[in-house]
Copies of this chain bind each other. A is one copy, B any other.
Amino acid sequence: MTLATWSKYSEWPMLGVAVLFLAAYSAQVIASLRPAQHSALEAVIWVTWAVFAFDYAIHLWLAPRRKRWFLKNLHELALLILPVLRPLQLLRLITLMQFFHRAGGNALRGRIVAYVMASAALLIYAGALAVLDVEQNAEGSNLTTFGDALWWAMTTITTVGYGDHYPVTGLGRLVAAGLMVGGVAVIGVVTASVASWLVENVADRDTDAAGNDPALTREVARLSRQIDQLSAQLADRGQPAAHDGQENRA
């Protein structure tokens, strides 16, 4: 079996595992659970982790050039090893989201905006979950409910930053840094989409009115008329010349 075949057949099951992981993680962080429930969810999270590790191992096994694949996919290994960054595994959902949208529409800009919006929503959800996980039992924390964490994530990704809620632990601040970088990227893509739309539309209008270098177009049109005249001249001369020949022969 090749790497491409495995990727193709494992895609949908891995999406399901990722959703299961998200659900278990969310329940554990947000809900107030009895110890038995908490342990059950912990088991589910570890099973999904094992499935991701297995998928990683299979990918590494099937890769034609293992060392190269390993070096190019160090981030996958980091996602497996660092338990705090587990919410980042949810970013796989975005990669997989392409399959939903592939059928519909071919407007590049529209698709990019759709992905960015979906990524931003997932980033806000996962960031709020991760920061709540880290901060809710920290000393001096002001992020103790999921509502506050979502609100904080929203103010962070848009770079508003009221400061009514903010992380106080190192890990919480690392999550925040990820959200800030995501926010700058989101603002960048939104702005760039508008800009590329404007550049294209205003430019189109100009091109419609004035043409693609009108001087060159006129010059080529003049050439064309000249060659038409040449053709006509040669055709005219062709017949008298034939006549000449007949006269000469006569």
* Residues of A bordering B, CB below 8 Å: 108-109, 112, 147, 151, 154-156, 158-164, 166, 168, 170, 173, 176-177, 180-181, 183-203, 205-207, 211-213, 215-217, 219-224, 226-231, 233-235, 237-238, 240-245, 247-249
Q: Is the CB of B223 within 8 A of A227?
A: yes
User: What does DSSP make chain A's interface, helix, strand, loop or mixed?
Assistant: helix
Q: Is the CB of B191 within 8 A of A187?
A: yes
In the complex with contacts A170-B147, A238-B237, A158-B186 CB distance below 8 A: no
Closest to A237 in B: B238
Q: Is the CB of B200 within 8 A of A202?
A: yes
In the complex with contacts A161-B161, A196-B199, A211-B213, A224-B224 CB distance below 8 A: no
Alpha-carbon distance A211/B156, docked complex (angstroms): 44
Residues on B with C-beta less than 8 A from A155 are: 161, 176, 180
Residues on B with C-beta less than 8 A from A194 are: 185, 188-189, 191-192
Closest to A193 in B: B198
**Most chain B beta-carbon neighbours within 10 Å: one of A181, A196, A220, A222:** A196
CB distance from A144 to the nearest CB of B (A): 14
In the complex with contacts A229-B231, A244-B244, A219-B219 CB distance below 8 A: no
12 of the cross-chain contacts (CB-CB < 8 Å) are A158-B159, A158-B181, A159-B161, A163-B163, A164-B168, A187-B187, A187-B188, A195-B199, A219-B224, A223-B223, A224-B226, A233-B234
